[in-house]
Amino acid sequence: MALKIAARAQVPPFFVMEVLRAAKEREAAGEDVLHLEVGQPSTGAPKGVREEARRLLEADRLGYTEALGVPQLRAAIARWYRDRYATDVPERRVVVTTGSSGAFLLGFLAAFDIGDRVALAAPGYPAYRNILTSIGVQPIDLPTGPNSRFQPTVEMLEALPEPPDGLIVASPSNPTGTMVDHAEMARLAAWCRDRGVRLVSDEVYHGIVYDGKETCALEHTGEAIVVNTFSKYFSMTGWRLGWMIVPEDMVRPVECLAQNLFISPPALSQLAAVAAFDCVEELEGHVARYARNRAILLEELPAAGFRDLAPADGAFYVYAEVSAMTDDSEAFCRRMLAETGVAATPGIDFDPARGRRYMRFSFAGSTETMIDAARRLKAWRR
């Protein structure tokens, strides 16, 4: 008799990882690949972090830490909010996590019960939907488009039959790079507060912004769960370190969950990451490169036939509508990889209903990679 697989495990794959696997197979066969599929910086951790990590490996035992994170890192994160957003965040409300993925899991488990409903923009980061589904929470897609800059609005929430139990807002967003401005974030926060809806603000791309300025949900409410990471702006993807700011009454529940699910985030990553906040000049150099890469793709992709592009206010993605070329973005991405060596992500990762008409390009790599990719795609489309 075959043993069962739990229903909670029956979530879709993360298709960008499927594309990455195909790209790696192509490389293993001796063919070149230009990686525009994965949303991770092509740079490593800042110099100060690497130097501190080397010192720690020689000098520190690196055992378990407090489940909520080491005090010195929590203090550094709290200072970051005071300096960057002029927002006072008590250290006790800072929770260090195993990447932002660990933060989303802990936050969702602490805030929502089985059967609750959480609204989120479509297109959006697929792990929101899949984590929620795996813990018995129902994701409610809010179809967005150019008219709302691919972001949820109060009007969309008002159109629902009843208020959801939670709302996820990502600004800058993956996959579109669009942002919620200060006034709209204030409206969303007020709407959630007045209706008892838990606001979850994904701010993992804060710091990587080109047009306007990012707004932190904590500027508008103390009841939001705010999630961030060292993977994007701080260029520390493989160190698996993130954080969240939680309301006062959620600190202890999150701590108990973290103790049981993770024990603690990686000690080396935590202790070395304290130095990241002193590496802003180096990190801003990465953002300047992303800005150059963004300009190249926004100018060159239309010449290759990719004409309908989201604005890409922040993050390092261009989201393109490709319905004039295909009604199957997954097959289109496979063919593009095979024929040009350019890897990109099909929109089905981000929008199950409409994603076959969209694809995402990541410009987190080198400027030379963007120039070469644009050249190949223009030649291919001709």
Return the DSSP state at 26: H
The predicted structure's pLDDT at residue 162: 97
Confidence of residue 241 (pLDDT cuts 50, 70, 90): very high
The predicted structure's pLDDT at residue 187: 98
Share of the chain above pLDDT 70, in %: 100
Indicate whether 133 pLDDT > 90.
yes
Fold match, 13-44+280-381 / 48-278: yes
Cis bond before residue 172 (omega within 30° of 0): yes
The predicted structure's pLDDT at residue 38: 85
Indicate whether 160 pLDDT > 90.
yes
The predicted structure's pLDDT at residue 1: 78
Confidence of residue 116 (pLDDT cuts 50, 70, 90): very high
* C-alpha span between 91 and 78 (Å, rounded): 6
Indicate whether 225 pLDDT > 80.
yes
Bigger pLDDT: 286 vs 14: 286
CB 167 within 8 A of CB 81: no
CB 208 within 8 A of CB 316: yes
Q: Which of 315, 124, 311, 299 is nearest to 214 (CA)?
A: 315
Q: Which of 176, 242, 258, 250 is nearest to 204 (CA)?
A: 242
Indicate whether 65 pLDDT > 90.
yes
Please give the structure tokens belonging to residue 380: 């291919």
Query: What pLDDT digit, counting tens, does each position of 306-355 carry?
Result: 999 999 999 999 999 999 999 999 999 999 999 999 999 999 989 999 99
Confidence of residue 15 (pLDDT cuts 50, 70, 90): confident
Query: What pLDDT digit, counting tens, does each position of 169-219 carry?
Result: 999 999 999 999 999 999 999 999 999 999 999 999 999 999 888 999 999
The predicted structure's pLDDT at residue 349: 87
Q: What are the Cα distances from residue 193, in Å, to 18, 128, 157, 158, 182?
A: 39, 21, 13, 14, 16
* C-alpha span between 378 and 371 (Å, rounded): 11
Query: What pLDDT digit, counting tens, does each position of 246-288 carry?
Result: 999 999 999 999 999 999 999 999 999 999 999 999 999 999 9
Q: Which sequence spans correspond to the domains of the chain?
A: 13-44+280-381, 48-278
Average pLDDT value over all residues in the chain: 95
Confidence of residue 244 (pLDDT cuts 50, 70, 90): very high
pTM of the model: 0.95
Indicate whether 87 pLDDT > 80.
yes
**Among the four given CATH numbers 3.40.640.10, 3.40.50.2300, 3.40.309.10, 3.40.50.2020, the one describing domain 13-44+280-381:** 3.40.640.10
The predicted structure's pLDDT at residue 356: 95
The predicted structure's pLDDT at residue 20: 81
CATH number of 48-278: 3.40.640.10
